[in-house]
Amino acid sequence: MSTEPPETTEDAEPKSADGARVSEAEAELAAQRLERERIERRKAERRGPVEAGGKLSGTAADLLAAVRAVESGEKPPATVFEEARPTPRRPAPEPVRRAPVVAPGEVVPAAGAVEEVRGVLAQGGAPEGLAVQAAAALGEGGGEALRADPWQLLRVAGVRPEQADGFARALLGAGAGPDDERRGRAVTVWLLEQAALAGHTALDVPALTAALGRQGVPDPEEAVRNAIAEGDVLVFQDALAEAGGEEEDGERPVRVLVGLERYALAEESLADGLARLIDSVPGQDDPAGWERAADAAEGSAGELIRAVAGHGLVLHTGGEASSAEPVALLNAAHGLGLRVWAAAHGPAGRARCAALADGPGVATVAGLLSGAEGPGRDADGALDLDLLVVLDAPQLDVEAAALVTESLPDGARLVLAGDPGVLWSVGAGRVFADLLAARVCPQIASRRPDPGPLGELVSGIGVGELNQVEAPGKEVVIVPVRDAGEAVHRTVQLVADSVPRAIGVPAEETQVITPGHGGAVGTRALNAALKERLNPGPGRFGGFDPGDRVAWSPAPGRTVPGRVVRADGEGLHLACGSEEIVVPRERVEQSVRHGWALTAHQAVGCRWPAVVVVLPGDAAQALSRPWVYTAFGRADRHLSVVHGVEQALARAVAEVPAKPRTTRLPVLLAPQTATG
């Protein structure tokens, strides 16, 4: 069998912010109006310049194209880093809950600062359209800073070292050499940012220096020392727990890691917040009521309820069918009078949970943290709830997880529930996997199997076996292909004709999943072919027509499937589940693409009645067990596999686990492990 892992979707970040409450209604309305105006100015300043540069060529055109790729939600090619296992270090400090933080908005640079940066960019031959982003990244005096250190251009998303080198040569002439100390520091920071895109929250020094060498830095160790001395990066010394005792001088061997402050603070905060939950004693609401609810529940659902009754942090694992157990917990806790909420990774997961939950509120993680959804916050700034169940927990990156734990009041309970076999988060970290490995809290593994041939197939993949399954109702169909052209043809045929006719699932409920965006059988090629067959039209609004299936990216790495409803002066109107989203016309090119075909991470967290997974011959290197497991698991009733990778699929399932990520969370949780 074969399949591709889908990617998850998430809600858009909120477009407005509440003004401070005042005693007079008139003053409050005025404050809200000013805030809306500020947000609109902020959006306009960031979006406008990106449209420039249509006539650029050479390095400048490449530079602008790279930045646009990042803004469109595509994940840039991640630098390959060797990753070693994280290890424990010194005990974490006493956990202190910080005030809840709402995701930060866009930085709005002053107009004068933008013009100053624009002038320097023009002098160095870089696209002037980068001025707003560069001014926001560099802050006040950005133009002078860029002139003094041209490699600071690497702080703009999408810019690569070779492009920054060209910019530096234009400004500095012969003085811009590969041994320039400024270049070494900037490339060090850039490599750590690229590592974060690949999921790492830090890198060990050998991996970082090797990557610096590949980028032409002549003395990588000196570059790292300079970056540490200037405060551009942080260094950590983590004791090696498995070192087998102390060395002759009496000191324990350590592992030296280097990371960015942003992820270091998030991981420290997350560890403190988790420790606070683990050490807390949940409110003794109704012990007898909890026990009655556990007795009434079935199987491992009862075990989950009992664990949550006595612990502040609980992990729950299982496949799609097991999602009924967190819902049973939610309903039981709500029946006991607790303030209960669930949070899913995206709107699709929210809708599935809301259909099963009877009374508890359901939100998305992004909406909960921003305040656009959820119970609101109490006087101390904590979420006004007693129990929070986070579904799709493997999709939590370290920053989102830190915000969740910081937002919980003392005495609240947190349950992280999800399928550990699916792809990890798009953002840095592997929070759920690290917690499962650390064993610092109760873990309840569901005993509820996914039903039918599809459930049997997916379960086998989870343990590294690609089994042949009996599929009397054509639940699983393999379609062999020889080349890319045949793969595209058979995919369109399956979606438009075979699946509707033989399975009874219409084309609008069938999702195509393929390894990547580019290539002869990537999402771009497949979406073009599917649009021509299913919804031909001139693309009257930015290449889109009413009825087109689309993938909307409100932020890089976050995708929401939807459908075009109409277009007008406001922008492109999309129906995303039960919500209507308006994407301003300036943002359409960057954030909306056709969505009959999605990539792996775009489909995580969603399910469709029928899924067609396309595995062209050149996809073999992209396959891994989590990727295949995730893709197969997106199908509810029927899975077709357009199969052109021969034995590579079985090898990937049996031999290719998730690519490791370097994180420090296990080290920071070590004191809790020892206590436990």
Highest mean pLDDT among 236-250, 493-507, 564-578: 493-507
Q: What is the pLDDT of residue 239?
A: 78
Is pLDDT above 80 for 85? no
Looking at residue 472, what DSSP letter applies?
A: T
Is pLDDT above 80 for 480? yes
> b or e along 338-359 (b: 16 or more beta carbons within 10 Å of the residue's beta carbon)?
bbbbbbbbbbbbbebbbebbee
The token duo for 468 is 């042949």
Confidence of residue 578 (pLDDT cuts 50, 70, 90): confident
8 Å CB contact between 430 and 199: yes
Highest mean pLDDT among 30-34, 328-332, 576-580: 328-332
Q: Looking up tokens 């889109």, which residue turns up?
A: 544
Q: Is the pTM of this model over 0.85?
A: no
* Mean model confidence pLDDT for the chain: 85
Q: What is the pLDDT of residue 120?
A: 94
Confidence of residue 315 (pLDDT cuts 50, 70, 90): very high
Is pLDDT above 70 for 357? yes
How many other C-beta atoms lie within 10 A of the C-beta of residue 253? Answer: 13
Residues 6+ positions from 391 with CB-CB distance below 8 Å: 323, 326, 342, 343, 344, 345, 349, 353, 417, 418
Burial of 518 (0-12, 13-18, 19+ CB in 10 A): exposed
Confidence of residue 110 (pLDDT cuts 50, 70, 90): confident
What is the rounded CA–CA span in Å between residue 594 and residue 550?
Answer: 4
How many other C-beta atoms lie within 10 A of the C-beta of residue 360? Answer: 24
Residues 6+ positions from 446 with CB-CB distance below 8 Å: 300, 316, 317, 318, 319, 321, 322, 325
- Residue range 584-611: mean pLDDT, rounded: 92
- Tens-place pLDDT, residues 365-381: 999 999 999 999 999 89
Residues 6+ positions from 231 with CB-CB distance below 8 Å: none
The token duo for 245 is 């005792």
8 Å CB contact between 638 and 512: no
Q: Which of 56-70, 345-359, 386-400, 512-526 is least confident?
A: 56-70
More confident residue, 238 or 561: 561
The token duo for 332 is 């039981």
What is the rounded CA–CA span in Å between residue 221 and residue 228?
Answer: 11
- Residue range 146-166: mean pLDDT, rounded: 94
Confidence of residue 249 (pLDDT cuts 50, 70, 90): low
- Tens-place pLDDT, residues 397-426: 999 999 999 999 999 999 999 999 999 999
Q: What is the pLDDT of residue 58?
A: 54
Confidence of residue 74 (pLDDT cuts 50, 70, 90): low
Is pLDDT above 90 for 229? yes
Helix (H) or strand (E) holding 559: strand 558-567
- Residue range 489-500: mean pLDDT, rounded: 98
Is pLDDT above 50 for 438? yes
Compute CA 633 distance to the chain's CA centroid, rounded to the nearest angstrom.
Answer: 18
- Tens-place pLDDT, residues 90-101: 333 333 433 333
Give percent of the chain above pLDDT 90.
70
8 Å CB contact between 16 and 38: no
Q: Which of 18-22, 66-70, 288-292, 607-611 is least confident?
A: 18-22
8 Å CB contact between 390 and 375: no
